[in-house]
Amino acid sequence: MAGTLDSRRRAAAALEELALLAELAGENPFKVRAYANAARAIARAPDDIEALAARGELTSLPGIGKRIAAIVAEVIGRGEPAQLAALRAGLPAGLPELVALPGLGPKRVRALWHELGIASLGELEYACRENRLVALAGFGAATQKRILDAIEFRRRAGGGHHISDGWQAAEETAATIRKVAPGAAVAVAGEVRRFCEIVAEAVVVCAAPIRAALLPALAALLQDAAADASGGVAGRHPSGVPVRVVTAPLASFGAALVWRTGSARHLEQLAARAAAGGLTFAAGDLTDASGLTVGCGEEPDLYEKLGLPWIPAELREGDGEIEAAAAGALPELLSEKDILGAVHVHTTDSDGAASLDGMADAAAALGWSLLGIADHSQAAAYAHGLDAARLRAQGEAIAARNSRGGTPLVLRGTEADILADGSLDLPEGVPLDFVVASVHSSFRQSLEAQTARLVRAVSRGPGTILGHPTGRLLLAREGYQVDLEAVLQAAAASGAAIEINAHPFRLDLDWRWVRRAVALGVPISVGPDAHEPAGLADVRWGVGIARKGWATANDVLNARPWPWWPRG
């Protein structure tokens, strides 16, 4: 009996999936209904469907014709129905996950896919945060908020987390400890401090023991907070990020912080260096040959004992930083205070949520001296992209604002679509200070075609910034196939720049390629891709990725005074 129940469940599930995928694919509604009705009939069938299939009598069940009977027989035989395989192959794999969200059925998911190109949960969240669902027929602001709430709820049970969520969880935990234990040494550690784009947990190192007053305070912030045997606490932040609080003696706080921050390779290399000097570095403690603790109350103490200068946390990946430190060749990394402003900022002229003046005033409040407006070009119809007349009018409004003096200086730009052949969607005769050239379509070109496309775009030279260079959305989709080495070489030859898109869902360019761009002398732009005033602060995440890629202020366009290119 167990076997026939298993067959019935698998057959009903296959038919339900067929109904869903057929509706998503826009197939005949009668076929969709037939699959759904057949799934219910199989699930409720009182007879042994394996025996019915063996006798060729599946069609005796209500709603089961010869075609559907053949599908059921395939499932019983442990095969995958050809129709199901074909539908899966023809649809993005992430669509069924969208249907599972409250308020989204197949028809709405199909509209999102066809109208906005949304095919995964991460792409849907990104679109919601850019307000793209507000103007879509059948959706609106209320529906967009419900969808976003549902996505955020689902993420709480997920695995990886964006660096922005990791920092929030870590900083709020550290602040809670400082409030309860004033004066205690407390610091964020782990992947969050190294500015890994995706983090599994947030780690905080504390030199105070978890006293009776501290656990209740952490329990008020963290779900399921509980003390562990070592005197620390583990729990989950309301955002869904797991949090671990680690305690250490004050005399070893610096060593513990290094131990809880560095990658495995970095720590292995430090341990080897310690061993070469007759010391042992393990489990967050530095000891001498007698097993006695060598005091390292601050991080620089640990590195000094190993004959090294302090190494910035972002570099601790075991990828040449220890050798560079030993040779006195560590770069002076970019910092947030070096940033003078940013380009790649959107307004209500395309798909932003604030006016030109609203975004400029927000930039002024940050102390920025320049701001580059880069609303979408005409090809981005979904984002209300600007044609030549609207782009020219926007430029006139920018000139008028600049003529009144004050800060920031507003630069005239556009985010121009890189078309399938690598040409840019740019109107003629409209003066611009810069162009953010970005791919928003034709993601599935071959590696060769996509590479040629981007090479042509960056070959435009100075004034061009390649936006979100691989098109990736973290936790949502991989970047498109492209030979980044060839693209960076072309940019180095032409004088074009490359963007670190600072939106925490993108952080594209990957930090490993940032390091390569720095080595080639390709200028970098840290762009927030801001669609609202609060989005300007996302520059923080881009600066972290720039630092992780060994970038200095000299490597970054928006850490330099304007103009960045010769006038021409």
List of residues 6+ apart from 308 with CB closer than 8 A: 273, 322, 325, 326
Kindly report the CATH number assigned to the domain that includes residue 280.
3.30.460.10
* Domain end among 107, 134, 155: 155
Q: Residue 8: CA atoms inside 13 Å, Cβ hemisphere, count?
A: 18
Asked if the structure places residue 110 within a domain, the reply is yes
3 state SS of 517: helix
Q: Return d(Cα 528, Cα 541) in angstroms, integer.
A: 9
CATH of the domain at 496: 3.20.20.140
Predicted confidence (pLDDT) at residue 349 exceeds the cutoff of 90: yes
Claim to verify: residue 526 and residue 546 sit in the same structural domain: yes
Which pLDDT band, with edges at 50, 70 and 90, does 83 fall under?
A: confident
Banded model confidence at residue 310, pLDDT cuts 50, 70, 90: very high
pLDDT of residue 138: 86
pLDDT tens, residue by residue, 97-148: 888 776 788 989 999 999 999 988 889 998 998 888 888 888 888 888 888 8
Average pLDDT estimate for 158-181: 92
Query: 271 pLDDT band (50/70/90 cuts)?
Result: very high
Q: What is the pLDDT of residues 157-166, one digit of tens each?
A: 467 899 999 9
State whether 279 and 168 are in the same domain: yes
Is residue 294's pLDDT more than 60? yes
Number of domains making up the chain: 3
Region 6-28 average pLDDT: 85
User: Residues 438-466: pLDDT tens digits?
Assistant: 999 999 899 999 999 999 999 999 999 99
Q: Do 131 and 184 sit in the same domain of this protein? A: no
E strand intervals along 374-496: 409-417, 434-438, 464-466
Lowest mean pLDDT among 39-53, 389-403, 429-443: 39-53
Q: Using an 8 Å Cβ cutoff, are 551 and 333 in contact?
A: yes
pLDDT tens for each residue of 512-552: 999 999 999 999 999 999 999 999 999 999 999 999 999 99
What's the whole-model pTM score?
0.81
Cβ atoms of 348 and 355 closer than 8 Å? yes
Identify whether 565 is part of a domain: no
Query: Pick from 262, 295, 326: which residue ends a domain?
Result: 326
Strands in 365-463 per DSSP E: 370-373, 409-417, 434-438
Positive or negative, the Cα torsion across 302, 260, 322, 492? negative
Task: Specify if 567 maps to a domain.
Answer: no
Cis bond leading into 102, ω under 30°?
no
Same domain assignment for residues 96 and 212: no
564, part of any domain = no
The CATH number linked to 127 is 1.10.150.110
pLDDT of residue 554: 98
Distance CA 232, CA 225 (A): 10
pLDDT at 56: 84
Residues contacting residue 370 through CB under 8 Å, at least 6 positions apart: 340, 341, 363, 407, 408, 409, 410, 411, 558, 562
Q: What is the pLDDT of residue 381?
A: 87
Per the domain annotation, does 394 fall within a domain?
yes
pLDDT of residue 134: 87
- Please report which confidence band the pLDDT of residue 237 belongs to, taking 50, 70 and 90 as the band edges: very high
Question: Do residue 472 and residue 542 come from a single domain?
Answer: yes
Same domain, 341 and 469: yes
Mean pLDDT (whole number) for 468-482 = 90
Q: Are residues 301 and 364 in the same domain?
A: no
CA distances from 47 to 4, 58, 339 (A): 9, 10, 72
Helix (H, G, I), strand (E, B) or coil at 464: strand
Q: Given pLDDT bands bounded at 50, 70 and 90, which one contains residue 47?
A: low
168/211 same-domain check: yes
Q: Per-residue pLDDT for 3 more than 50?
A: no
Give a yes or no: residue 59 inside a domain: yes
Q: At residue 6, does pLDDT exceed 70?
A: no
For residue 167, give the nearest of 517, 544, 452 by alpha carbon: 544
Given this model, what pLDDT does residue 154 score? Answer: 67
> 379-396: per-residue pLDDT in tens?
998 889 999 999 999 999
Report the distance separating Cα 107 and Cα 116, nearest Å: 14
pLDDT at res. 269: 97
Asked if residue 215 and residue 151 are part of one domain, the reply reads: no
What confidence tier does 312 reach under pLDDT thresholds 50, 70, 90? very high
Q: Is the pLDDT of residue 319 over 80?
A: yes
Domain enclosing residue 426, as ranges: 336-559
DSSP-derived secondary structure letter, 411: E
Q: Is 566 a domain residue?
A: no
Res 88: pLDDT: 87
Cα gap 236→161, rounded to integer Å? 12
Question: Is 403 part of a structural domain of the chain?
Answer: yes
Average model confidence (pLDDT) for the chain? 91
**Using CA atoms, how far apart are residues 264 and 380, in angstroms rounded to an integer?**
44
Query: What are the tokens at 142?
Result: 């209320």
Per-residue pLDDT, 70:
87
In terms of domains, do 56 and 182 share one?
no
- Residues 370 and 561: their CA atoms lie apart, in Å, by 9
Q: SS3 for 162-230, per residue? A: EHHHHHHHHHHHHHHHHHHCCCCCEEEEHHHHCCCCEECCEEEEECCCCCCCHHHHHHHHCEEEEECCC
- Indicate if 375 and 310 belong to the same structural domain: no
Lowest-pLDDT range of 2-11, 44-53, 158-167, 223-232? 2-11
Domain end call among 286, 301, 326: 326
> Does the structure show a pLDDT above 90 at 336?
yes
Are 276 and 397 part of one and the same domain?
no
